[in-house]
A and B are shown apart, each in its own frame.
Chain A
Amino acid sequence: MEVLLASFQKFTLGNLVMFILGGLLIYLAIKKDYEPMLLLPIGFGAILSNIPMSSAIGEGGFLTILYKAGIATELFPVLIFIAIGAMIDFGPLLQQPFMLFFGAAAQFGIFMTTLLARFLGFSLKEAVSIGIIGAADGPTSIYVANLFAGELIGPITVAAYSYMSLVPLIQPPVIKALTTAEERRIGMDLNLHKVSKTTRILFPIIVTAVAGLIAPMSVGLVGSLMFGNLIRECGVLDKLSQAAQNELSNLVTLLLGITIGSTMVAENFLTWKTLMILLMGLFAFIFDTAGGVLFAKLLNLFLPRKINPMIGAAGISAFPMSARVIQKLAQKENPGNFVLMQAVGANVAGQVGSILAAGVLIYLVNALAL
């Protein structure tokens, strides 16, 4: 009898809190539709890993095996990037390459949050891992956290995906606070030139080579993203492109979520650090948005034809949610205003910008450690 009750006897208040938290993530996924593909597996993984003496984790546990195989090796984030690359249409960016600069400006949150984390006492490696939540890009957050602060990977991932799903709530008040109604009504050019197939094929190849030369540590992420995109654009690998967009994406997302959830063991997760990381994640998204908007406003001081500054906010890489939010806001001010193509351009630029910024940060921090 004692053997049968052993698990009950080891059940702590912390485990109970994690059960509730896991349940909350599952609730948000199902009822509120907040990133359900990630939050539901993460929530269930959290429950699995907080059952005392759980055979799902620890020596021989399938979640620990998955963690070692897919997260510790960085394999899952890289595979997800192949899938994302196959899903992304870089056309709007190739039509308006100027949007690239918003993809850089909207990484401002990464830098501000890293600095804040340092002031709050986190080590440089931990601070950079927390700051990367501002990349608004789950796989990049996981990739960097695993390299620099493996013990924080749970809260960092939860923060990254939660705030990505909350972009429609986070961005509008920040944008409205920084822009006037008149600015939000600015229209954008609708006559965009077509992009040739050759350009679409050469773009991922050249970007990989150039990004690799600028920041060699970004090759894993940029390379896999652009490989996925090359499969999409080459025109002869439709089956592989569809497989990357559907089967690969679904399977890896499923395994990634539940594996991340398994890192949320009560004694590691229920700490002040977790609470601070969750708050700093919000800070990162707010400063990303502000960085993009303010950069657009700065450019407007010099440009003869003004840009709708809201487009700057789409430079965060929460794709395609952010672009949709911007379009919605633009139409709210002026029902005839159509800025979606520019916003999508900035949004995919944010994908490139976040990976590049992460790669550069990894390189610089590693160089410092040598």
Chain B
Amino acid sequence: MSDNILTTLRILLQSLGVTFLGMIVFYTVIKLLVKYFPEDK
């Protein structure tokens, strides 16, 4: 395993990016759910 600071930095940036990407997806999911299932009947 190449275990150096640059590798760590790359992993951290990827992780941060994917976490934000995940949140964008969840945001879209919630928006769609609220739009298509607005009220209890």
20 A–B contacts, CB within 8 A, in A order:
A97-B26, A100-B27, A104-B16, A111-B16, A114-B12, A115-B12, A118-B8, A123-B3, A124-B8, A196-B34, A197-B40, A198-B33, A198-B40, A202-B37, A206-B33, A207-B29, A214-B21, A215-B22, A356-B19, A360-B15
* Contact-residue bracket for chain B: 20 to 34
Contact residues of B: prevailing secondary structure = helix
Q: Which one of A12-20, A52-60, A78-86, A362-370 is at the interface?
A: A362-370
Q: Are A103 and B23 in contact, CB atoms less than 8 angstroms apart?
A: yes
Question: Contacts A101-B20, A352-B26, A357-B19: A94 and B9 contacting too (C-beta < 8 A)?
Answer: no
Contact indicator per residue, chain B 1-20, by CB within 8 Å of chain A (1) or not (0): 11101011101101110111
Assuming the contacts A111-B15, A360-B18, A364-B15, asked whether A127 and B40 have C-beta atoms less than 8 A apart, the reply is no
Contact yes or no, B1 A104, CB < 8 A: no
Q: Contact at A196–B40, with CB atoms within 8 Å?
A: yes
Q: Are A207 and B19 in contact (CB under 8 A)?
A: no
Q: Judge if A302 is at the interface, Cβ distance under 8 Å.
A: no
Residues of chain A touching chain B, judged by Cβ–Cβ distance below 8 Å, are 93-94, 97-98, 100-101, 103-104, 107, 111, 114-115, 118-119, 123-124, 127-128, 193-199, 202-203, 206-207, 210-211, 214-215, 349, 352-353, 356-357, 360-361, 364-365, 368-369
Taking a contact as CB atoms closer than 8 A, the residue among B3, B5, B31 that contacts A97 in the complex is B31
Residues of A within 8 A of B37 (CB): 196, 198-199, 202
For B31, the chain A residues whose CB sits under 8 A away are 97
Chain B minimum-CB-distance residue to A349: B23
Complex: chain B residue closest to A100, CB-CB = B23
Residues of A within 8 A of B7 (CB): 124, 368
Q: Is the CB of B11 within 8 A of A356?
A: no
Which residues on B are within 8 Å of A, measured CB to CB?
A: 1-3, 5, 7-9, 11-12, 14-16, 18-23, 25-27, 29-31, 33-34, 37-40
CB distance from A308 to the nearest CB of B (A): 20
| Residues of B close to A214: CB separation below 8 A | 18, 21-22, 25
Complex alpha-carbon distance, A195 and B38, angstroms: 7
Q: Give Cα A194 to B41, complex, Å.
A: 13
Q: Is there contact, CB below 8 Å, between A97 and B27?
A: yes
Partner of B26, one of A107, A199, A210, A360: A210
Q: Which 5 A-B pairs have the closest CB atoms?
A: A97-B30, A198-B37, A199-B33, A100-B23, A360-B15
Q: Contact check: which of B1, B5, B27 meets A118 at CB < 8 Å?
A: B5
| Chain A residues with CB below 8 A from B27, complex form | 97-98, 100-101
